[in-house]
């Protein structure tokens, strides 16, 4: 793709909406209708539903998170005039992570008591947030922002992105503890770095 490459925002946003719609729909497929040995047993049905509760909770949590990511992305996309190659690349990376979210959510829901699931779930969420931060940075540096938007509004959006990412990293510190000192230090260092960027923004 050359430096003059441009793609209309409408086409990209149509793709974004489609990927989100599919990913959010796939989430429910992990919530299975229970198979009963005795279809007339209320006790067996209620027991099976109770067993499926963690998966259902993971579904609602993940659906809500994807909804937030969708709103967040569209609020950022409203500020750009078009997509060039670098901005399209970060958008594709963002959509690849969104597409992987149903797998992460299914793993998290099925093995809710296994902290190992966080190795998949937390990085996917964190990388999605990072892509949102990078989206606005790239758009600003590439001169793709709408001219009618005040610089203060862009600065506020950038600080909001950084704060959201920093808060996630802070919340991820306890989740990193079971995996040892080094991962915990890495996450804490990243959180401190993002907070520093927030203060300088």
Question: So what's the pLDDT on residue 2?
Answer: 44
**What is the band of 131 on the pLDDT scale with cuts at 50, 70, 90?**
very high
- Distance (Å, rounded) from C-alpha 166 to C-alpha 198? 8
Question: So what's the pLDDT on residue 123?
Answer: 93
Angle subtended at Cα 113 by Cα 194 and Cα 119, rounded to the nearest 5 degrees: 35
- Distance (Å, rounded) from C-alpha 92 to C-alpha 152? 28
Segment 10-36 shows an average pLDDT of: 90
Angle subtended at Cα 91 by Cα 102 and Cα 93, rounded to the nearest 5 degrees: 55
Considering the chain, what percentage of its residues have pLDDT values greater than 90?
Answer: 67
User: Residue 188: is its pLDDT beyond 60?
Assistant: yes
- Distance (Å, rounded) from C-alpha 47 to C-alpha 108? 21
**What is the band of 3 on the pLDDT scale with cuts at 50, 70, 90?**
low
| Cβ within 8 Å of residue 27, ≥6 positions away | 59, 62, 63, 66, 101, 102, 105, 106
List the single range of 21-25, 41-45, 137-141, 167-171 with lowest mean pLDDT: 41-45
Question: So what's the pLDDT on residue 1?
Answer: 42
User: Residue 51: is its pLDDT beyond 80?
Assistant: no
User: Residue 73: is its pLDDT beyond 50?
Assistant: yes
User: Residue 29: is its pLDDT beyond 90?
Assistant: no
Question: Per-residue DSSP letters for 35-80?
Answer: P-SSTT-HHHHHHHHHHTHHHHHHHHHHHHHHHHHHHHHHHHHTTB
pLDDT averaged over the chain?
90
User: Residue 38: is its pLDDT beyond 90?
Assistant: no
Q: Which of 124, 125, 195 is nearest to 162 (CA)?
A: 195
Question: So what's the pLDDT on residue 192?
Answer: 94
Q: Rounded to two decimals, what is the model's pTM?
A: 0.87
- Distance (Å, rounded) from C-alpha 137 to C-alpha 158? 8
Segment 59-75 shows an average pLDDT of: 94
């Amino acid at each position: 793709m050359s430096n003059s490459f441009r793609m209309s925002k409408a086409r990209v946003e149509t793709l974004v909406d489609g990927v989100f719609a599919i990913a959010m729909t796939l989430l429910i497929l992990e919530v299975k209708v229970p198979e009963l040995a005795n279809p007339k047993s209320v006790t067996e049905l209620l027991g099976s539903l109770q067993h499926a509760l963690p998966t259902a909770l993971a579904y609602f949590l993940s659906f809500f998170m994807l909804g937030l990511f969708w709103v967040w992305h569209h609020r950022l996309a409203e500020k750009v005039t078009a997509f060039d190659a670098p901005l399209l690349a970060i958008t594709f990376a963002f959509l690849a992570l969104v597409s992987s979210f149903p797998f992460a959510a299914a793993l998290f829901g099925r093995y809710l008591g296994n902290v190992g699931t966080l190795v998949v779930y937390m990085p996917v969420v964190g990388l999605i947030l990072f892509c949102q931060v990078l989206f606005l940075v790239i758009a600003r540096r590439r001169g793709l922002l709408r001219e009618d938007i005040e610089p203060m509004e862009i600065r506020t959006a950038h600080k909001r992105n950084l704060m959201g990412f920093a808060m996630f990293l802070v919340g991820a510190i306890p989740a990193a503890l079971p995996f040892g000192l080094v991962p915990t230090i890495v996450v804490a260092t990243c959180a401190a770095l993002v907070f520093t960027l927030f203060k300088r923004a």
